[in-house]
Structure 1
Amino acid sequence: MTRQPPAIDTLVEPDRVHKSVYVDPDLFELEMDRIFGHAWVYVGHESQIPNVGDYHQALIGREAVVMVRGEDGKPHVLYNRCPHKGAKLLAQPCGNAGRFLRCPFHGWNFRCDGRLLSVPAREGYEDTRFDLRDPAFSVRRVACQQSYRGFVFARLAESGPSLEEFLGDIRLTLDNFCDRAPEGEVEVAGGVFRVWQRSNWKIFFENLNDTSHPMVTHESAVNAARAEYQHRGDGGQMPFQLHIIEGNGEPYDFWAGLEMVAYDRGHSYMGAIFTPPTDPVSLGHQAALEAVHGPEKTHEILSVQRHNSIIYPSCAPHTSFQQLRVIRPVAVDRTLVEIYTFRLKGAPEDYFQRSITYANIVNSPSSNVMPDDIEVYARVQEGLATDGGDWVSLHREAGREQGDGNGRYTGGGLSELPMRNQFRAWAEYMGEEA
């Protein structure tokens, strides 16, 4: 018999949270229902399925879904399940299913939008309740799906806010992500990193806009980058590959000066760490934008400088280097993170190659940076399982944030505002009244 999880309203306080939110498996199951069963969750980008029959698999909480390009040219998000015997229709993470989806068990065929196309030995269904036109015999669609500038989100619940209402002002991150492309569109390119983390999904999400950890967690990587630069001994500008590692070693005063903004529903962003360089690669991108928009509009686009943005509870876009990290909770202490790199359509090829470089140096599981984080996440998970204390502190600059009355909150660059904001949303989703 499943035990009753602790009362939700006792777990989250304005400046701390109870450790059970990270380690209680029953609370995790409740999250799968109340958060991932009701929030808009990122599924994929339309560019991942350019042709009819192309598909991309994803998880929405516990539900395995697949995004498929239909004959109508639109993406369709379907449950990855045959309505006949329940077999999984598509096994690979991505690919092309051909002109229709075919169940590998009994050969039922479906259109790429999920509608039943044909069944073998059809005469055996005569004088039964089977009806080819009955939606019950088609692949089930998710309750709601919407696309925002090519980014596809889905919601399992029938009722709730529209995608644009859900995103609110965090939409500016996705707008800027695309506006940086001279053609106004982006596409997934360069493959994907898939990283298994031995920790609760919320630990990763909280760390994205945690500015007090880099100089501690990444100390060895920073020292290695500085040592390599000194070893070169030429006194020139630090190479880009070293600069994006060494930047984690900035002092607390630097981080305190960054912009920190949070929104209702758990979304947030932090200001950019790296000042846009004036190297030939950056200037080439700027010139490509100016050729389309002119200097004034280009300046407006490039002046939006954000490092990590959080679209709670499922993804984190990085506009400056065209990265997107997707969070797939699997168990209370196990999380799959997928990292995608995007190409800006119309931008010079070397600009895309720099994004690939950033992905390999910062977001690769074999980089000098990410393993530090994964190790710390696992240590947090292990530490929370002990009797060393019941509460997790979120006290830094608590009560100092400023709200505008319209769901936007600002705090100091070292503030734990984003974490408190996420748990405010967590409590709203998880509450009985929800």
Structure 2
Amino acid sequence: MKRADIAALVQDDRVHRDLYLSPELFALEQQHFFANTWNYLGHASQVPAAGDYLAVEIAGRPLLMVRQGDGAIRVLYNRCAHKGTQLVSDACGNAGKFFRCPYHAWTYKLDGSPLAIPLKSGYEGTRLKQCESGQGMTALKHVAVYRDFVFVKIGDAGPDFDSYFGEALRSIDNLVDRSPVGRLRIEGGVLRNIVHCNWKMYLENINDTVHPMSTHESATAAANALWQGRPADAPKPMAMEQILPFGAGYDFFDRMGGRIYPNGHSVLGVNFSIHSGYAALPDYEAAMREAHGAERAAEILQRSPQNALCFPSLAVKGSPQAIRVIRPLAADRTLIEAWSFRAEGAPDILFERSMTYNRLVFSPMSVVAHDDVHLFESIQQGLRADGNHWVSLHRDFDAQELGQDTQTVNGTNELLMRNQFRAWAQFMDLTLQD
């Protein structure tokens, strides 16, 4: 598939179904798109001690995030330089002072440099030292640690980290600064869900404010029935506080507003969101004012976007302090991870709010995610129907939006999705051949 073929799949107001269905296109994404973009790998709090590692696969490449003896973080390919065996098979753990291959016992320092090999005399006079195999484990060249969020770029093409994310990094700032001391820790495990759909469907849904009223109608109707008749000022249980806004109506979601940034990034809920009505915590708010000053504390706490997307792999919720990680596995298979953060120096109720929200909304069998997963998989099958090979992104399209990198629009505007696909075409094009 050539550049002209790719360009034809993404039009100003619609995209071709092959973006979701084609295994050939997915293979090209693994080779080009994900190599040219910055992808979230993990959080520094997941590797707190020297020798701690986190094993993650990005774009089909097995990677290791490793805490070094000096406290730095290094990212290596999880591959023995000898025969290619993966050095660790667990998702996380501690390697001690070195990595040891389970196949032939070649060993490597934590930075990937070679340490020892059995039968060393057998390599004397050979070309091993001049070969890549003699250099040790391969380290990624493009690694960025931003406020303990670790991102990688596999290839050499594409912009540097700061140029790629730009103002989109403010969503991470908002999340981290909810800690009075400016530090987060991942806690409470992870909710993982493999959805039999293309990864782009999930990214679209992150910016889709029109579906909750129909997709989640039964969940919000049940919650409303339970809460019916209570006084308007009655304190809500946390689960009610989080689920009831899903049924707020089209006008609410339209007025919340959205903003796009270059390279596919976006913020949904620039004015307010379903998270804006959480109960006040006076002692915590006082601690935030003391830590950040009154103006900055108000800015942090009052800004509660629905979703902030660091395209293409990370969705951030400043409140309730949760992230989702999108890990594509195949054209029709996507792994979704939902993680909770504990904000150091903040009351436990914030962490409880994060855990409750993830279980209520992102658990595979929750009353919300179950609806979404059913429809994602239905779309994946429905797109195989003949007669219409296109997916509509026409809502609120305006030709004047073309060429504008940053725009603020109404919250139901599909520009937030169109922006994603334009970035997809841009980064696919960087290394494709004519």
**Residue 290 of structure 1, CA deviation:** 2.0
Structure 2, unpaired ranges of 5+: none
Within a 5 Å distance, the mapping from 1:162-173 to structure 2 comes to 162-173=160-171
CA deviations over 1:353-380 (Å, ceiling 9, x no partner): 2211111111211211111111110011
2:180 maps to: 182
> Which amino acid in 2 is paired with 1:250?
A
Paired with 1:309 and 1:57, the residues of 2 have a C-alpha distance of: 25
SS in 2 for 1:37: helix
Within a 5 Å distance, the mapping from 1:87-102 to structure 2 comes to 87-102=85-100
2:35 maps to: 37
1:279 maps to: 279
Matched, 1:370 2:369: yes
Within a 5 Å distance, the mapping from 1:127-206 to structure 2 comes to 127-131=125-129, 136-206=134-204
1:341 maps to: 340
2:291 maps to: 292
Paired with 2:36 and 2:403, the residues of 1 have a C-alpha distance of: 27
SS in 1 for 2:219: helix
**Residue 386 of structure 1, CA deviation:** 1.7
Paired with 1:401 and 1:200, the residues of 2 have a C-alpha distance of: 30
- 8 Å Cα contact 2:81/2:132 also seen in 1: no
- 8 Å Cα contact 1:116/1:133 also seen in 2: no
1:396 maps to: 395
SS in 1 for 2:27: helix
Matched-pair identity in %: 41
> Which amino acid in 1 is paired with 2:413?
S
- 8 Å Cα contact 1:344/1:352 also seen in 2: yes
- 8 Å Cα contact 2:114/2:134 also seen in 1: no
1:310 maps to: 309
**Residue 136 of structure 1, CA deviation:** 4.4
Alignment equivalent of 1:210, drawn from 208, 211, 234:
208
**Residue 123 of structure 1, CA deviation:** 1.8
**Residue 402 of structure 1, CA deviation:** 5.6
Within a 5 Å distance, the mapping from 1:238-249 to structure 2 comes to 238-249=236-247
User: Which deviates more from structure 2 when the two are superposed, residues 230-239 or residues 260-269?
Assistant: 230-239
Paired with 2:401 and 2:176, the residues of 1 have a C-alpha distance of: 29
What TM-score results when the alignment is normalised by the length of structure 1? 0.94
Cα gap change, 1:369 to 1:400, in 2 (>3 Å):
farther
Paired with 1:275 and 1:339, the residues of 2 have a C-alpha distance of: 17
What's the Cα RMSD here? 2.2
**Residue 197 of structure 1, CA deviation:** 0.3
**Residue 161 of structure 1, CA deviation:** 1.8
Within a 5 Å distance, the mapping from 1:215-294 to structure 2 comes to 215-230=213-228, 236-271=234-269, 272-274=272-274, 276-277=276-277, 279=279, 282-294=281-293
CA deviations over 1:33-80 (Å, ceiling 9, x no partner): 221011111111111100011111112211111101112211111111
> Which amino acid in 1 is paired with 2:279?
D
Paired with 2:314 and 2:164, the residues of 1 have a C-alpha distance of: 14
- 8 Å Cα contact 2:242/2:275 also seen in 1: no
Q: How many residues align?
A: 430
**Residue 299 of structure 1, CA deviation:** 1.1
Cα gap change, 1:133 to 1:32, in 2 (>3 Å):
closer
Paired with 1:108 and 1:123, the residues of 2 have a C-alpha distance of: 14
User: Which deviates more from structure 2 when the two are superposed, residues 136-145 or residues 407-416?
Assistant: 136-145
